[in-house]
Amino acid sequence: MQSNRIIVLEDRLKRFYEVLQKRQKDLVVFVDDVTNEHNFSAILRTCDAVGVMRVYYFSEAKKGIEINEAVSMAANRWLFIERVYDREKAIKEIKERENLQVVVTWLDESSKDFREINYTKPTLLVVGNELKGVSEDILNLADERIVIPMMGMVQSLNVSVATGIILYEALRQRLDKGMYLKPTLSEKEIEEIIMKWNNDIIARRKERRK
């Protein structure tokens, strides 16, 4: 019985290491006041799938936004998610600190086709509220404004679907450039994250036993 536990632990650690080897430290997502928990949770699931490590979000709601783990498939457990209370200040700080291009989704004739952007550059992708889009303050910080071409009667896609399409274009470009073959995290950073994930698992197990 003890040997089975060790095997499970080793398999889990191996999986953690493999995933973290592909995390894209310089591909970051900012969610601006998305209100639907299913949309937010689906965005988190896609972020994990393409190797995004960090997600920032702003919410007008007092309690923020809930995460539905049935929708996210618990992807939130493997991401670093941070709520910010001043979106303009947060984006300015992230951009300046990490030298990221700010790419904002915006439904406008002047916006570029999302496929024209070079996502192999360090990128902060900003997606907005289901009805209003991103705030004007954020729009003014954009280096690039992008749109997904629409051929039907509706003008835009669901925010979680749109985020997925854009992130998978980023994935395609980064795969073509071999960016998933070389880790962006240091060995020390990988070890620290693995330790955190293990501790989180232990904490959740203890909570379930109460």
Radius of gyration of the chain measured on its C-alpha atoms: 18
Other beta carbons within 10 angstroms of residue 193's beta carbon come to 19
Copy the structure tokens of residue 88. 């303009």
Are 173 and 120 a contacting pair, CB within 8 Å? yes
Distance from C-alpha of 8 to C-alpha of 15, rounded to nearest angstrom: 11
163 has binding-site annotation:
no
105 has binding-site annotation:
yes
Other beta carbons within 10 angstroms of residue 116's beta carbon come to 9
Number of H helices, E strands in the chain: 7, 7
184 has binding-site annotation:
no
What strands, in cross-sheet order, belong to the sheet with 80-84?
80-84, 54-58, 27-32, 123-127, 101-105, 144-147, 112-113
Binding residues for S-adenosyl-L-methionine: 105, 148, 157
Binding residues: 105, 148, 157
